[in-house]
Amino acid sequence: MVTEEITLEGHIIDSLILSKVLDDILAYGADFRITEMRVGQTKDDRSFARVEVSADSPSALSEVISRIARHGAIVKTAEDVRLVPAEQDGVFPEGFYSTTNQRTCVRYQGNWHDVLDQEMDCGIVFDKATGQFRCVPVADIKAGDLVVVGYRGVKVTPAARGPKVGVFEFMSSAVSSEKPKNVAIKQIADRMRQVRASDKKILLVGGPAIVHTGSAHHVVQLIEKGYIDVLFAGNALAVHDIEQALYGTSLGVYMDRAIPAETGHEHHLRAINTIRRYGSIRAAIEAGVLTTGIMHAVIRHGVEFVLAGSIRDDGPLPEVITDTLVAQAAMRAHVRSVGFALMIATTLHSVATGNLLPADVPVVCVDINPAVATKLADRGSFQTVGLVTDVEPFLRELLAELDLA
Amino acid sequence: MVTEEITLEGHIIDSLILSKVLDDILAYGADFRITEMRVGQTKDDRSFARVEVSADSPSALSEVISRIARHGAIVKTAEDVRLVPAEQDGVFPEGFYSTTNQRTCVRYQGNWHDVLDQEMDCGIVFDKATGQFRCVPVADIKAGDLVVVGYRGVKVTPAARGPKVGVFEFMSSAVSSEKPKNVAIKQIADRMRQVRASDKKILLVGGPAIVHTGSAHHVVQLIEKGYIDVLFAGNALAVHDIEQALYGTSLGVYMDRAIPAETGHEHHLRAINTIRRYGSIRAAIEAGVLTTGIMHAVIRHGVEFVLAGSIRDDGPLPEVITDTLVAQAAMRAHVRSVGFALMIATTLHSVATGNLLPADVPVVCVDINPAVATKLADRGSFQTVGLVTDVEPFLRELLAELDLA
Amino acid sequence: MVTEEITLEGHIIDSLILSKVLDDILAYGADFRITEMRVGQTKDDRSFARVEVSADSPSALSEVISRIARHGAIVKTAEDVRLVPAEQDGVFPEGFYSTTNQRTCVRYQGNWHDVLDQEMDCGIVFDKATGQFRCVPVADIKAGDLVVVGYRGVKVTPAARGPKVGVFEFMSSAVSSEKPKNVAIKQIADRMRQVRASDKKILLVGGPAIVHTGSAHHVVQLIEKGYIDVLFAGNALAVHDIEQALYGTSLGVYMDRAIPAETGHEHHLRAINTIRRYGSIRAAIEAGVLTTGIMHAVIRHGVEFVLAGSIRDDGPLPEVITDTLVAQAAMRAHVRSVGFALMIATTLHSVATGNLLPADVPVVCVDINPAVATKLADRGSFQTVGLVTDVEPFLRELLAELDLA
Amino acid sequence: MVTEEITLEGHIIDSLILSKVLDDILAYGADFRITEMRVGQTKDDRSFARVEVSADSPSALSEVISRIARHGAIVKTAEDVRLVPAEQDGVFPEGFYSTTNQRTCVRYQGNWHDVLDQEMDCGIVFDKATGQFRCVPVADIKAGDLVVVGYRGVKVTPAARGPKVGVFEFMSSAVSSEKPKNVAIKQIADRMRQVRASDKKILLVGGPAIVHTGSAHHVVQLIEKGYIDVLFAGNALAVHDIEQALYGTSLGVYMDRAIPAETGHEHHLRAINTIRRYGSIRAAIEAGVLTTGIMHAVIRHGVEFVLAGSIRDDGPLPEVITDTLVAQAAMRAHVRSVGFALMIATTLHSVATGNLLPADVPVVCVDINPAVATKLADRGSFQTVGLVTDVEPFLRELLAELDLA
């Protein structure tokens, strides 16, 4: 749906102008919403109406708008975007249009174009060669790139929250730990089945608490059954997963007995060192050293992954991308094809992924801390559902709903 | 175990006095711990040792202490308690001994007596008729009651935290949501089985989140299989439980679909009104009006319960005890026989119960908010284990561990 | 403002009916909002409009509605309330209307009446003698009371959130600890000055953390300068305040040095016992025993107070009302005249007070825990502003804004 | 203090061996603690004592131990460390010693050496050229480096918590929001004055909430008066600080009115773009574009800083180090000279810094969320004090205590 606003002023009610305009809108298969109406107090006073006209496509909208204009109503006509070349690498031109994560169209030479690679906090660059508009982060701008400047000719279409999408009916209300979760988990399972059957991908963004809470084997199950296509995580998830695979501990605590191992606090560094000796996680698997766990399943089942570095990392593991711009680019390459994102127990990676994802990708954020889900929802990702619950039982029940338990 | 401290001073090492004293302690089946030792710098300087002597019973301790005293060592001898009559109803005498929740003995006429009804923040009253000492809250004091004053002749024996008790091995470390819980839940199930097989009782202290999270049927299961002997709760738990039984909603939200009912916010008040019309929950059950839920199971299976009033209550339900002193007295009557307490999702009732329970009763406090478990543990209940997790999956897994799922 | 909905159907646009109706509404000084509009697809199709008509008073609304009705438009006419006598003490009749905390009018014998003592989760009782309608809690119902049943003839007028009220401009957005608070505190100070100068009262609802955080002297300042008219609290606030006055400690910790006193954990019970010996806090003040602190200032300056009992209380102090229904009634008597409520660091008393307060009384809830403010705001108190901040610096800055520092 | 354990066995009490050993320890200016003592049950049985001997320096300890050994007591003698060359770059040899953040000594050729650059989760490398031992992170290891393997010859000396250090007397107890903070803030101010007067540096680790809460000008004050020598932060702190300097908003909200600016959500990206156009924050200052704020003060007053990149960054600003290993190295270079660290409202940077800091550097972690302080304290930084409070009033009061307000 694209929307344009028109205003009608004058004797629009008794002259039947409003009536005719609304007739025309409906006749063209478009829809309207009267957002403001001021009726003159006396017969001689002028009335005023503000109407939002919606159509399925930019072209249909153009058609109905041009038709309405003939009634003499003042139409708030759209103009073309203004394009200004960047003067320096890595710098937008002054007054650049700053993107949201909502679906966006730009008007160029009288026609509306969808913006590709929709992402928050980028500029919109026009590629003359292909005729396409695309979101580009500031660091990737090259001198000479044609960048959209100002708000003119830019239209944002917020993702519907209504029954049409209906991915998560339970998502209407606020983040709370005091709600029954079984309905939510059932709907998440349904969504994952749909996406698995489609050409879209399921993304897991996970923190090390997946391992600490004893949930690694649940994630392995999801991977083995094809429910995870991409994994975004940091060094910590992989390290603690590998620590558990090599020593049976996580942060030095035996997972099966919940008691600390002697010198267990060193296990994570020994795990890192072992993998570094083999050169990579993959090499350690091929050498038969790493035989279980999430990273083992990820590599064995061809799940794509990005391990992004952070300044609190020990080691890190060889596969960790220590340059954050390079890591962002790697993540960006993957999010284009994501149809569902499950974010578990990581604020940093969840927020980073939320920044990259278009707003129409449904996201479920699971954390025992309500602040994390709230933080993500605050960033304008309307499709983000926060589930305040414990990681391990959440994953256990998700497996049951997917008939994997 | 009761403990007394002795000090030895002088040429206790080269004179072999220390050696002999320690020999005697062991010979009498008692045990010792050297808590301080200062050895004279030169041969002429005096040495000093402080030794804690422990024995199984007050009488055994008296015996070994009197034996040790003969070595000329200065024994920090115990004296009898001082008893002062209360002058007014509801007021302790000045300087009264204020109790902890730890096992306490008092020395009276040369003998050690266990204090009965151990409870925090009480006074100790001597009953001449029975010769017993007993914890009494200030509101229950009668003029003339003989109350222990000062610290003299009072001995507190903290509950051991060591391997002997070993109820919960996982309890050593701090409250955390990032620990695997399956081991903890397994141990809780074991404990519940032991207590069910004993003459002690299992106490459930529960908040309304049990109902909101869709866990009421799990609690019903526990009741039906005999795993709950006593229930402490407030008006809210019972109201939301009965709302769910009558309308299928909790706080107006349908539990099976997680969507709000029209006018659902009125359900809880209608539920209260319905029960009030019948005169009591029991009467509504007998009339065939209330046929499911926690309160139904509680009454049908003869579980004892105290519904304690609070100023935030609507209604309340007829069985709610609106006077808090009367409610405390009702709770106090039950805690004497409790061998295990499970506290779920209620700060108010958990802290209130924690104040009444002796320190040697194991307590598990389950809440998704780490602050609640921390608060309880801070109040000196050493046997309190905080489990930061979601209520519904906790109860589901507990049922599985009890083979009830 | 009261509102009525009308619907117009037929050839309302080309027949100019809609135009005339809107003209009339404006001519009578009323206002309208078109909430729905369906325009017939062809000239022969009928159109439909749903319009909300608002007027300043029930009588003005009746007038404009009767005028509009003459245009042949179908008016969704109001009917009188249905009144049913209660059959039992303490029980509403079946189908009773359950109140919200929003301003409510009922239509009786063709006229609209404001409901008095507006309060959440009550019934509405008609007093024949006075001709008044009043909110009554279920426990206070007497057999024979005429109670409103059903929704017919009941109109709820939510408190406006717009610029007209404008009490707290900062309150628009969600509860957050990451916002600058100085603007909020300035507005709270302004509001307190306004209310102090009016005939309304300022209510403080406070928890013991006021004392623990070293803020008691700030509250004393507010009381001395006339900024607190009523205090709602529990036993704990008073006990810890008196403990500090008598021993210089709070929970046994010296407030000026932040280190624990030896045997300090007993101080609160000794404080309780001392006051009980004198018979009341007031008597202890008159005896010259209690000479500082919040309760001292409250009594010396004639601040009204309700100390409501809870099952976690020690003692309690003599002034504590241990029966929760009696305590609610005492609180209810005070809230009628409250023009501003400041709730600090207490969930129980804040929620209890929130249940009693009409929705148009502005409330500021200060807590370092975001969950408390969220909980209160969730209960439908639209005027509730949550301030997530530390108690002591909040009060310090509030004093500075009130020029008391 | 360095410590060695000795055990004595046999007729050590009646033979006076224990007495003589303890005499000798004291005679040599060393100290002892009897950690275990088993006295034979009969005269013929052997006794056993385990004694920890402490001396001020490794050499003094060696002397007293060799003296004690002459009494025939079995001394648990120290052995030299084992050094194994690394085989690969970036990989420790198998069995490497994994460091803590506590002061550590290693025994090499019979002498004890302090390990330099003490840091958690590193290896210890011996530099033949200088004869020094040093902590080295795994990524910096070069093939051929001599790395300590095993626990032999390694001695860890935990930082004392006792009255000797006494930096923060209030730190004894747990993290809590319910404590008075004025004493704590006074002691922090004292510490900052001491460190400023010394050759050590004061480190501020800060998150963007410093700006959001309206506290930037407090930090500017601290910088101007010489109370901050080093700043560790991320892109976000600098971006929001510069956004405020350029637009008067933080996250798009006007700081002085607490209301959102139109298109304010774009301000942070425009701020980034402006600085990128000038090439650096420093260049923007020199061009007269950036004239206020924290980063302006940092650069104008020569405060050293590390802005470390993260995957959630927009932009980033030119000075941000996007490679996390490079950023860690930059932070590591600064922590060697830090005498006090103040960490405000950032989990990521606080934990990262905590990993690098030796345990004997006092750290104060200020956050309104108790979980952050707990997390840091859990990582074994004993000198870490958590202050659960609001950032702005904390800084305001700190300035007052430093006489800067």
Tens of pLDDT along C192-243? 999 999 999 999 999 999 999 999 999 999 999 999 999 999 999 999 999 9
Decide if D214 and C170 are in contact by the 8 Å CB cutoff.
no
Contacting chains of D (3 CB pairs or more, <8 Å) are A, B, C
**C-alpha–C-alpha distance, residues C299 and B271, integer Å:** 41
pLDDT value of position B178: 66
Does the pLDDT of residue D334 top 50, yes or no? yes
Token pair, residue D235, equals 């892109």
D104 and D246 part of one domain: no
pTM: 0.84
| Domain final residue pick, B100, B128, B157 | B157
Decide if A256 and B389 are in contact by the 8 Å CB cutoff.
no
Give the DSSP letter string of A88-100: STT-PPTTBPPP-
B363-367 sheet: strands from edge to edge: B304-308, B230-234, B201-206, B338-344, B363-367, B384-388
Q: Cis omega (within 30 of 0) on the bond before A163? A: no
D9 and D113 part of one domain: no
Token pair, residue B206, equals 């529960």
Dump pLDDT digits (tens) for D46-94: 777 888 888 887 778 878 887 787 776 566 666 899 999 999 999 999 9
A200 and A143 part of one domain: no
Dump pLDDT digits (tens) for C321-338: 999 999 999 999 999 999
**C-alpha–C-alpha distance, residues B105 and B118, integer Å:** 10
D254 and D317 part of one domain: yes
pLDDT band of residue B61 (cuts 50, 70, 90) is confident
| Domain final residue pick, B45, B75, B105 | B75
Alpha helices in C315-390, H assignment, sequence order: 324-335, 347-356, 370-378
As to burial, measured by CB atoms within 10 angstroms (0-12 exposed, 13-18 middle, 19+ buried), residue C110 is exposed
pLDDT value of position A269: 95
Decide if C392 and D178 are in contact by the 8 Å CB cutoff.
no
Does the pLDDT of residue C379 top 60, yes or no? no
Collect the ranges in chain A with pLDDT lower than 70.
1, 13-16, 35, 37-45, 72-78, 157-179, 377-382
pLDDT value of position D381: 55
Distance from the Cα of B98 to chain D's closest Cα (Å) equals 23
B322 and B219 part of one domain: yes
**C-alpha–C-alpha distance, residues D34 and D19, integer Å:** 12
Average pLDDT over residues D331-350: 94
Token pair, residue D209, equals 């909430």
Asked if C392 has any chain D CB less than 8 Å from its own CB, the reply is yes
Residue D255 belongs to some domain of the structure:
yes
pLDDT value of position B177: 65
Contacting chains of A (3 CB pairs or more, <8 Å) are B, C, D
CATH (domain of B6): 3.30.70.2690
Estimate to the nearest angstrom the gap between the alpha carbon of A194 and the chain centroid: 18
Higher pLDDT, D36 or B255: B255
Dump pLDDT digits (tens) for A273-323: 999 999 999 999 999 999 999 999 999 999 999 999 999 999 999 999 999
D345 and D205 part of one domain: yes
Close Cβ partners of B71 (under 8 Å, ≥ 6 residues apart): B8, B17, B20, B21, B24
- Shortest CA distance from A27: residue in chain C: C41
Considering only CB atoms, which chain D residues are within 8 Å of A276?
Answer: 88, 90-91, 138
pLDDT band of residue C102 (cuts 50, 70, 90) is confident
Distance from the Cα of A41 to chain C's closest Cα (Å) equals 6
Dump pLDDT digits (tens) for C31-83: 777 767 666 545 566 777 888 888 887 778 878 887 787 776 566 666 899 99
Average pLDDT over residues C134-161: 86
Least confident among C5-14, C357-366, D51-60: C5-14
pLDDT value of position D167: 44
Residue A162 belongs to some domain of the structure:
no
**C-alpha–C-alpha distance, residues D256 and D249, integer Å:** 8
Alpha carbon separation from B9 to B6, C82, D31 (Å, rounded): 10, 91, 20
pLDDT value of position D233: 98
CA torsion angle C317 C319 C324 C326 (round to 10): 160
Decide if D41 and B26 are in contact by the 8 Å CB cutoff.
yes
Dump pLDDT digits (tens) for D19-40: 778 778 877 878 777 767 666 5
Dump pLDDT digits (tens) for B117-135: 999 999 999 999 999 999 9
**C-alpha–C-alpha distance, residues C320 and C310, integer Å:** 9
Residue A321 belongs to some domain of the structure:
yes
Cβ-based neighbour number of residue D289 at 10 Å: 16
Decide if C174 and A378 are in contact by the 8 Å CB cutoff.
yes
**C-alpha–C-alpha distance, residues A364 and A342, integer Å:** 5
Asked if D36 has any chain B CB less than 8 Å from its own CB, the reply is no
Asked if B56 has any chain C CB less than 8 Å from its own CB, the reply is no
Decide if A183 and B258 are in contact by the 8 Å CB cutoff.
yes
Residue C267 belongs to some domain of the structure:
yes
pLDDT value of position A167: 44
Query: Taking all residues of chain B, what is their mean pLDDT, rounded to a whole number?
Result: 86
pLDDT value of position B166: 38
Residue A163 belongs to some domain of the structure:
no
Cβ-based neighbour number of residue B162 at 10 Å: 7
**C-alpha–C-alpha distance, residues A330 and A310, integer Å:** 15
pLDDT value of position D350: 93
Does the pLDDT of residue D199 top 90, yes or no? yes
pLDDT value of position C2: 74
A46 and A107 part of one domain: no
- Shortest CA distance from D354: residue in chain A: A312
Considering only CB atoms, which chain A residues are within 8 Å of C23?
Answer: 39, 41
Asked if C14 has any chain A CB less than 8 Å from its own CB, the reply is yes
Query: Taking all residues of chain C, what is their mean pLDDT, rounded to a whole number?
Result: 86
Sign of CA dihedral B284, B286, B291, B297: positive
**C-alpha–C-alpha distance, residues B3 and A272, integer Å:** 49
CA torsion angle B206 B207 B209 B214 (round to 10): 40
Closest to B18 (Cβ–Cβ): which among D13, D23, D174? D13
Residue B151 belongs to some domain of the structure:
yes
pLDDT value of position A74: 62
| Domain final residue pick, D15, D48, D75 | D75
Decide if B18 and D16 are in contact by the 8 Å CB cutoff.
no
Does the pLDDT of residue D171 top 60, yes or no? no
Residue A316 belongs to some domain of the structure:
yes
Q: How many CB pairs below 8 A link B and C? A: 113
Q: Give how many domains chain B has, as a whole number.
A: 3
Asked if A269 has any chain D CB less than 8 Å from its own CB, the reply is yes
C49 and C29 part of one domain: yes
Range of the domain at A355: 169-401
B365 and B238 part of one domain: yes
Decide if D277 and A88 are in contact by the 8 Å CB cutoff.
yes
Q: How many CB pairs below 8 A link B and D? A: 42
The answer to whether the beta carbons of residues D116 and D134 sit under 8 Å apart is yes
Decide if D378 and B174 are in contact by the 8 Å CB cutoff.
yes
Alpha helices in D281-381, H assignment, sequence order: 281-286, 294-300, 324-335, 347-356, 370-378
Least confident among B41-45, B102-106, C366-370: B41-45
pLDDT value of position A368: 87
Q: Which candidate in D247, D306, D311 is best for mutational testing of the A interface (most A CBs within 10 A)?
A: D311
Decide if D19 and B13 are in contact by the 8 Å CB cutoff.
yes
C334 and C378 part of one domain: yes
Asked if D45 has any chain B CB less than 8 Å from its own CB, the reply is no
A332 and A362 part of one domain: yes
Dump pLDDT digits (tens) for B192-222: 999 999 999 999 999 999 999 999 999 999 9
Asked if A45 has any chain C CB less than 8 Å from its own CB, the reply is no
Average pLDDT over residues C295-323: 97
Average pLDDT over residues D128-149: 96
CATH (domain of D387): 3.40.50.10690
Decide if A27 and C39 are in contact by the 8 Å CB cutoff.
no
Closest to D18 (Cβ–Cβ): which among B13, B40, B174? B13
B197 and B342 part of one domain: yes
CATH (domain of A139): 2.40.420.10
Least confident among A194-203, B52-61, B307-316, B360-369: B52-61
Residue A164 belongs to some domain of the structure:
no
pLDDT value of position C13: 65
Asked if D18 has any chain B CB less than 8 Å from its own CB, the reply is yes
Buried b (16+ CB within 10 A) or exposed e, C19-36: bbbbbbbbebebebebee
Average pLDDT over residues B341-363: 92
Decide if D392 and C256 are in contact by the 8 Å CB cutoff.
no
